[in-house]
Structure 1
Amino acid sequence: MKKFSIALASAATLALAACGTPAEETNEADAAMADEMSVEDTATGTIVDVAMGNGDFSTLVTAVTAAGLGETLSGEGPFTVFAPTNAAFDALPAGTVEALTTTDTETLGSILTYHVVAGELMAADVLAAIEGAGADGYALTTVNGATLTATLVDGNVVLTDAAGGTATVTATDVDASNGMIHVIDTVLMPA
């Protein structure tokens, strides 16, 4: 059975400290999530089905629904989604998620589509692209038209957003019928 790779504890600790989340609690949650998720368990549904089937993505599912992206992300694809966990959404300033899901769904849609890349990128594809790109990292064009930059930091894939924020990939290659999910520890912002 294929298990998902988990980021090294030291990098996760640094990333989580930056988010203000206690590293020990989040590392335990990431480990539990990785244990619960396997390719065999998730391959039968769409990206939305997979996210709905895991409680660690309940905020993401709520956001996708509020932005009206459920049908799109359940479509043929393929898509690669860099999916923030509930803890990533919880690290946003108080009231942000509520405001985005109720009164600013246009901005929410832009933020969510910034986490989606057209095509199916496995972790090995991303690593190879980073290695081939050099010191500046690999530019990923998202479906909202903006760019994320993928680099390797201490052996972990780190995504840098347009605002200079970073997210560490904590689990990879979560297979869905219409693409691939990679779990990240921070919500990325397009600008």
Structure 2
Amino acid sequence: MLKRHFIFVLTAVAILSGCASTSLPVSVADTVAAQPQLSTLNGLVVKAGLTDTLKGTGPFTVFAPTNEAFAKVPAKTMQALASDPAKLKAVLTYHVIPGKVMLADVKNGNSKTVNGANLALSRAGDFVTVEEALVQTPDIAASNGVVHVVDSVLLPPASR
């Protein structure tokens, strides 16, 4: 009897400790900030003053370029973005679509971004492209939307 009680207690502790480590989804902004490979994007979101927006009600779909994607952008372009907050904000909001679009929901065609421009989305099976960027890690859930990690920085037509 004592052995059965001991096993029950150990099982209950294991279940409860599993619950304690399970975290609820956080905002899109916090999701981006928690991903080491998105630290450049996170720093630019902060610099552009978009953190509170991306913590807002949403929902938002964010196509988040990796640090490597930003490293491919010419230094002159990055300097221009860093010195022009309006242009930086326009580029970053070009990566955001209003609404929550999971990988399975992507339809071929254009979607309107938060900055008002159209963004070409294309899906072939499990492969999704956004303009010329390939989605590397899809469907990172957030409390106010979803983040898809992409391999390229998207530049709106006016910024190219």
Q: One fold, TM greater than 0.5? A: yes
Q: Distance in 1 between matches of 2:23 and 2:72?
A: 27
Matched-pair contact (CA < 8 Å) for 1:117–1:141: yes
After superposition, the Cα gap between the structure-2 partners of 1:112 and 1:92, relative to the gap in structure 1 and judged at 3 Å, is same
Deviation at 1:44, TM superposition (A): 2.4
Deviation at 1:66, TM superposition (A): 1.0
Q: Distance in 1 between matches of 2:23 and 2:155?
A: 27
Q: Which of residues 123, 128, 132 in structure 2 aligns to 1:157?
A: 128
Q: Which of residues 82, 85, 94 in structure 2 aligns to 1:105?
A: 85
Deviation at 1:151, TM superposition (A): 1.7
Matched-pair contact (CA < 8 Å) for 1:43–1:175: no
Match of 1:90 in 2: 71
The unaligned stretches of length 5 or more in structure 1 are: 1-39, 131-137, 161-165
Matched-pair contact (CA < 8 Å) for 1:46–1:178: yes
The unaligned stretches of length 5 or more in structure 2 are: 1-20
Deviations 1:4-40 (A, max 9, x none): xxxxxxxxxxxxxxxxxxxxxxxxxxxxxxxxxxxx9
RMSD: 1.9
Deviation at 1:105, TM superposition (A): 1.2
Q: Give TM-score scaled by structure 2 length.
A: 0.79
Deviation at 1:143, TM superposition (A): 0.7
Match of 1:148 in 2: 119
Q: What is the number of equivalent residue pairs in this alignment? A: 137
After superposition, the Cα gap between the structure-2 partners of 1:41 and 1:149, relative to the gap in structure 1 and judged at 3 Å, is farther
Match of 1:34 in 2: none
Q: Give TM-score scaled by structure 1 length.
A: 0.67
Identity %: 44
Letter of the 2:128 counterpart: V
Which stretches of structure 1, 4 residues or more, deviate above 3 A after TM superposition?
40-43, 152-155
Q: Distance in 2 between matches of 1:47 and 1:93?
A: 27
After superposition, the Cα gap between the structure-2 partners of 1:77 and 1:155, relative to the gap in structure 1 and judged at 3 Å, is closer
SS at match of 1:157: strand
Matches within 5 A, 1:54-69: 54-69=35-50
Letter of the 1:83 counterpart: A
